[in-house]
Structure 1
Amino acid sequence: MRRLRTLSQSSHHKSCRKSYRKNGRNNLCSGLLALMLAGSGAPAAAQEESASGVRDQSPVSDVLGDVRGAVSSGLGEWGLSRRFPEAALWLDLEGDARTLALFWPETELPARGALIVLADEGENAESGLAGPLARELAGRRFAVLTLGLAPPPAALEQTLEAPRTESEAEPEEALVEARTEIRPGEQNQSANNTATIDVMALETVGGLEDAYRERIREELAAGAAELAKRDYELIAVVGLGRGSNHVVSYAAAAQASPALIWVAPRFYPRDASEVVATLGSASVPRILELSSFGEGMQRKADLERAGVEGFSLQSVGANASFTSRNGKALAGRISAWLRLEQ
C-alpha cells in the first residue's frame, strides 16, 4: 500500500509538471501539491510540535502568495488539530480556504456568553497566552473560540512597522511628483519609467496589506458565525498583542458590535494613530485594556477627549508582555469586568 501511494503521488507530480509546461499556469497543481505534502507531512508536524503548542517556523509569505488557497497558514495547524481533536474546528473561508480554530465550551452551565480570542502575531490558536487564557475563561462559564494570527510577509512587515509621516496621507501622489520631476539633462521617458515602477511597488504592498487584513477579518467573522450556529451570544472579542490591531476593525464594522478587550496591545503606528477615529465612529459598547503599568495612559486620554465612552484601563504588573503563566490572572480580570454588565 505504501509503494502504491508513492507511485500515485509521483504520477500526480509528473502530471502537474507536464500541465505547467503546456499551459504556463501552475496555480492548480501548486495547490494540489501543497495539500498532498501538507497531508503526508502532518504526522511529522504533530511530532515536531512541542507540548506548549509552539508553532512551526514556516513563512507566511507563501500563504499570502495564494491567500485564497486552502494551504496551511504556517502556524502548525495540522499538528495542532491532532493534539486537540475534540477542540479543533476548521472554519471555511472564501475561495475554498480554511483556518483552524480551537473551541473551548463553558465547563459549567449556564454559559455567560462567548468570546473570541485572537492570538498574538506568529502564534497559533493554542500557543503563547491564547490557549491558557481560553481554558481559564471556560472555567468561568464562558465559551471561547481561539484563532491564530499569521505574521505578515517581510515586505509588508516593514510597511506596517514604519512610523507614520505627515506626507503619508497621499503617498502615491507625493511619490509620483517627486519621481517625475524633470531635471536638466534627464529624459522625460526615464523619469516616467521610474515613477511607474514606484507606483507599482506601492500598489503591490497595498494589495498585500489589504489581502492580509481581509483574511484576518474573514477568520474573525467565520468564528463569530460558528458561535452563532451553536446558539452562543458573542459578547467580546479579545486581541492579544498584535491581534489588537485586527479586532478593532472587526468590531467597528460588525452590525452588533461586541465589547473589545486588548491584552498588552501592540498597535502598528498607523493603526495607533487611527484607533481613536475608528472607535469614535463605531458603536463598540465597552473597551477594556489590560497592559503593564504606565501603558495606555495617552490612549485613554485621547479616547476620552474624542468622546469614546466605556473605556477601562487596568494595569497588570510591570512586565511589558504576558506569558501563559498570566492566563489565570488575566481571565479573572476579564471575567470581573464582563460581570459588571451581566
Structure 2
Amino acid sequence: IIVRSAHPMESAFKGGTFESLETYADIAGIEYARKKIIKNAKTNKSLSIRRQQQFNNAPQIDVDKMGVIVMPFFEGTTVMVKMLSNRWEFGYCKNRNHKVQSEPYITDVPHDKRLLLLSESIQDTLGFKCEIEYIITEAGDIYVVQAKNISAVEVLDEKIDQRSIRMDGIHRIRKRHNYRERPVYIMNNKQFYIQIISQCEEFITNPSCGLDVVLASINAYEEELETFALRHNHFAVIGFSIREPRELYQIVNHYLDDYPEDQKVLSKALNNNLYKIDYFLSEADTLLAKNRFRMNLGTHDAYGIDTVRNPIWSVFWDADRHEQVVSQFIRLGWRSGDIIGIEIDTEERPVVFQI
C-alpha cells in the first residue's frame, strides 16, 4: 500500500513537502510509515518547512499531529495534470520498473485522450481549478491519486495573458529568450574534506585537544548552508565539487582509525553532514555543475504547480572541461553571495555572468 501524509494544515505548504511511503498492508506497516513521515518532517524536510514559513507565510505546524491516507499501491507512471491559461498540461514522471529511466517531461498532448476527458470531468465536478495526479499502469489503467485545489495560486503566465495584446512581429538586434538572476552559493566539498583531513592530522599530533575543532568545522559548514537557505527565497548553487570521489571521503572517514572512539564520533558527524548537504541542494531552484551530477526530481519538483512560477534549472558543463570551468570561476573571483545571471540562447546553450 501507499501511506500518504495528511496533516490538517498540509494544504498551506507546497506539494511534496511531506512524504508518501510504500509499506505492508497491515496496521504495523501503517504505523511505521506514519512515524517515518513525522521523523522526515522533523529532519530532512525541516529546512523546506522553515523556508516556506519564512518566505511564503506558511503557518507554524505541529508535525506530531500528522494524519495519513492509505491507498492501494499501483506500479506505473505518474502523471500530473492541470489547466494553465485555458490549456491542459500533462507532466510525466519516470516508471520505477524501467532500468533505464526517462527524464520528467511536460506535454500538451497526453498519450491517452482519456486523461484529458477525465481531467475535464473531475475539474467540472469539483467546481474549481485543480492539479490532478494519476498513476498509469503498464496495462494502461488510469488511477486517480488526488486532486489539489490550485484556484488560489497566482500564475505569472496567466496574468501576462490577461493583461497583454498579441502583436504581429518585432525587429530587434539583441534577442533574449530565457533569463534568470539568482544569488549563488559556491559549493566546494573537496576543499572542505581537505580542511577536515588537515585538522585530523593536528588531532593525531596532539590528541589531548580532542575533536572539538574538527566537529566545530563540520557544524560551521552546516550552519552556513542553513543560513544561506533561510536568507534567500530563490538561490543557485555552483558545484566546484559536490560529490567528491569516494576515495577522499573514505580517507576522512578512516583517518582516525587508531582512535576508534573518536573515529566513531567523526564518522557519524560526516554521515549527517552528507544529509545536510542534500537538504540544502534540494532547496535550490538552480544548479550549475558538471554533467555527471543530476537532480533527482519527483513529480512535484519536476512539474508541480509551484514550478510554473519557479521551474528547476539544471545548468551543466561537460565533465572533461570541469577543471577548466572551475578555474574560470576562480579567476573571475566568484564568491558565495554574488548575484549571477543566466541567459539561454537560441541553441539552448546557457551563458552565466555576474550582475
The higher-RCO structure (CA 8 Å, 6+ apart) is 2
* Bigger fraction of residues in strand: 2
Common fold: TM-score over 0.5: no
State TM-score, norm by structure 2. Answer: 0.26
TM-score (norm 1): 0.27
